[in-house]
Amino acid sequence: MTQNVTQKLIEAHLCSGRMTPGTEIGLKIDQTLTQDATGTMVMLEFEAMQIPRVKTELSAQYIDHNLIQEDFKNPDDHLFLRSACKKYGLWYSRPGNGVSHPTHMERFGIPGKTLLGSDSHTCAAGSLGMLAIGAGGLEVAMALAGKPFYLKMPEIWGVRLSGELPEWVSAKDIILEMLRRHGVDGGLNRIIEYYGPGLQNLCAMDRHVIANMGAELGATTTVFPSDQTVRRFLKTQGREDAWQEIVADNDAVYDQHDEIDISTLEPLIACPTSPGNVVPVREVAGKEIYQAYIGSSANPGLRDFAVAALIVDGKRAHDRVSLDINPTSRQILENLISLGFLEKLIHAGARLHQAGCNGCIGMGQAPATGRISLRTVPRNFPGRSGTREDQVYLCSPETAAASAITGVITDPRTLDMDYPRFSEPEEIRLNTEMLVPPASSEAHIELEKGPNIKPLPPFDPLPETLEGLALLKVGNDISTDEIMPAGAQVLPLRSNIPEISKYCFRQIDENYYTRAMNCRDQGSFIVAGENYGQGSSREHAALAPRYLGLKAVIAKGFARIHWQNLVNFGILPLTFADSTDFERIGQNDTLCISQIREMLQQDSTVTVINKTKDITFQARHSLSNRQIEMILAGSLINLVNTAE
């Protein structure tokens, strides 16, 4: 039978289930990726499993998020992670070595392998022909322990690219076009597979841009073929022997279909406050900007910085504009220096930051109040930049660089200059020095835990009856940034659940923490619209509300990773059987589900009583038997512990 690339990758790793969309499958995981903001918890979870060494083919831990060292917390976490890597057998990418996704692609990615990462943008490695999936930390800890990764088999969405990109239009505009067409939930329960003649002129890092922001479409992951372009990339990285060809068979079929003639595209931009608010740049051109920010895993390539350098060459950033350059890996930084691009950027006024995620998750570089920041990053959820009333627009490096010079949002095609085409060099400088290999399994290594690292709180099993207040009612597309903010103030608390919980839902309701603490023992509900929990993989968006007594979320729909994170920590995710019932619940109504333990095991529908309004309605779950066990036990951790 003919197969597409996704089917080939899944079939080669299938440990349970069948490739029928909607049914649960188990996948063998070859590699894992963790970053510091989620990795500390992953290592604590792995430590609790008491397994001496990781069981994957390769696991790498990156220090890229928590780079500002305002006090002891972040550096303590870095040292803890270094010791855990040595002890358990992971590679350790030192602070300042770069963002996990491009660095992993440069140094460790292998076509045909599976990669599970505790970061939603792990899907970027699909650019190499890998099956790379973002997940909650606990699932990555399970993968480190050699356990399969379970998910519902997604539909496979074939997107044929034809034509060639016009001048001033680049890979970012392709993924923005996908977001313009399909919105932030268009990829839910789907894997996007790109193919067609339009791929020919997209280099591996261009494909990374598109695969990375598949997360913003809500897709499970994105897959590209492993073709001659991938071979060339690996050759440049000194790793050609890691290449194998993986392409779709002739006449391969897809569950869903779409086509983009990329020669018809123009520069696009996502307006505040959603990656799905996409319009042509010309429609918002002329607005004054405060910041032009280039970097992040959503535009990580050498070409992204080189093109910006060539645009600003000999000119000066407008005196109101902060032109922030965030190199994505140390290797790219070295090449920008040796090829002369960095000098052009710096001479034009660029502010140079260390290789890492930085302002992309609000770790510094916050914009001025109410002012416009143009960023090449993947997300612009409200307040994510660190400034509460922010105005973040997402665009290509071409648009950001052009606007940096003029001081207003500028369609780069209107600049009075020729398009500076850039071809990736055949040879580049390589840097592997900042990757520390694991210690030998004989070495005796002590974990170095600073005072900020607190143990995970206990998780009670599911009670017989769930009764409590609908403590919060929210609308559609609530992101994990709104549930559990990132930023320089909150990120250092990722290894301290009681402390980080104080920031839970702060952007939506400043009093949530106090209100939740007042009814913590009783327990509470959240009522939500569509696509609840979109965005990041941070399990803290489940852990913190759970610590504050959350028992169940009743929503019109969920984002994939957050849904699984809720289940992992024993929070029951339910969807309305009839979505109009959403209107019949008010914030602070008392909801009750009796005999929930029996109901879950017998049926996929449960009856909810709204005691305040004296009405009942039906809600559904789509849990597998394995997931029901987790909910009953109170968390996946409890389940694993009782099994041993």
8 vs 101, beta carbon nearer ligand MIC: 101
73 vs 121, beta carbon nearer ligand MIC: 121
End-to-end CA distance of the chain: 42
Do 619 and 592 contact (CB within 8 A), yes or no?
Answer: no
Tell me how far, at minimum, the Cβ of 534 lies from ligand MIC, in Å: 10
Outline where DSSP puts E strands in 305-443.
322-326, 351-352, 372-375, 391-394, 435-436
144 vs 591, beta carbon nearer ligand MIC: 144
Tell me how far, at minimum, the Cβ of 613 lies from ligand MIC, in Å: 36
Tell me how far, at minimum, the Cβ of 535 lies from ligand MIC, in Å: 6
Tell me how far, at minimum, the Cβ of 540 lies from ligand MIC, in Å: 7
Q: Give the residue carrying structure tokens 């041993």.
A: 644
Tell me how far, at minimum, the Cβ of 485 lies from ligand MIC, in Å: 10
Q: Which helix (H) or strand (E) holds 3?
A: none
Tell me how far, at minimum, the Cβ of 482 lies from ligand MIC, in Å: 12
Nearest to 546 by CA among 579, 577, 529, 568: 568
Q: Tell me how far apart the alpha carbons of residues 562 and 93 are, in angstroms, rounded to a whole number.
A: 27
Q: Tell me how far apart the alpha carbons of residues 28 and 43 are, in angstroms, rounded to a whole number.
A: 20
> Which ranges in 150-294 belong to alpha helices (H)?
171-182, 204-212, 228-236, 281-284
Tell me how far, at minimum, the Cβ of 215 lies from ligand MIC, in Å: 7
35 vs 524, beta carbon nearer ligand MIC: 35
Spatial neighbors of 372 by CB under 8 A, at least 6 apart, are 287, 288, 289, 290, 291, 391, 392, 393, 409
237 vs 297, beta carbon nearer ligand MIC: 297
136 vs 154, beta carbon nearer ligand MIC: 136
Q: Tell me how far apart the alpha carbons of residues 84 and 99 are, in angstroms, rounded to a whole number.
A: 20
248 vs 559, beta carbon nearer ligand MIC: 559
Q: Give the residue carrying structure tokens 């409200």.
A: 382
309 vs 374, beta carbon nearer ligand MIC: 374
How many Cα atoms sit within 13 Å of 525 on the Cβ side? 27
109 vs 112, beta carbon nearer ligand MIC: 109
Q: Tell me how far apart the alpha carbons of residues 409 and 99 are, in angstroms, rounded to a whole number.
A: 27
In this structure, the chain runs to a length of 644
Tell me how far, at minimum, the Cβ of 265 lies from ligand MIC, in Å: 25
Count of C-beta atoms within a 10 Å radius of residue 440: 8
Q: Tell me how far apart the alpha carbons of residues 564 and 357 are, in angstroms, rounded to a whole number.
A: 25
Tell me how far, at minimum, the Cβ of 480 lies from ligand MIC, in Å: 7
Q: Tell me how far apart the alpha carbons of residues 288 and 182 are, in angstroms, rounded to a whole number.
A: 29
Q: Give, in order, the Cα–Cα distances in Å from 561 to each of 108, 194, 466.
A: 24, 22, 24
17 vs 378, beta carbon nearer ligand MIC: 378
Angle between the N-to-C axes of helices 204-212 and 171-182, in degrees from 0 to 180, rounded to the nearest 10: 30
Q: What is the DSSP letter of 313?
A: T
Q: Which helix (H) or strand (E) holds 65?
A: none
> Which ranges in 355-423 belong to alpha helices (H)?
397-406
Tell me how far, at minimum, the Cβ of 396 lies from ligand MIC, in Å: 19
Residues of this chain that bind ligand MIC (CB under 6 A): 37-38, 65, 119-121, 134, 361, 379, 486, 535-538
Do 391 and 308 contact (CB within 8 A), yes or no?
Answer: no
Percentages helix, strand, coil for the chain, rounded to the nearest 5? 35, 20, 45
Tell me how far, at minimum, the Cβ of 629 lies from ligand MIC, in Å: 26
Nearest to 329 by CA among 246, 466, 435: 435
Tell me how far, at minimum, the Cβ of 530 lies from ligand MIC, in Å: 20
Tell me how far, at minimum, the Cβ of 76 lies from ligand MIC, in Å: 17
561 vs 600, beta carbon nearer ligand MIC: 561
122 vs 431, beta carbon nearer ligand MIC: 122
Do 359 and 374 contact (CB within 8 A), yes or no?
Answer: no
Count of C-beta atoms within a 10 Å radius of residue 133: 28
73 vs 538, beta carbon nearer ligand MIC: 538
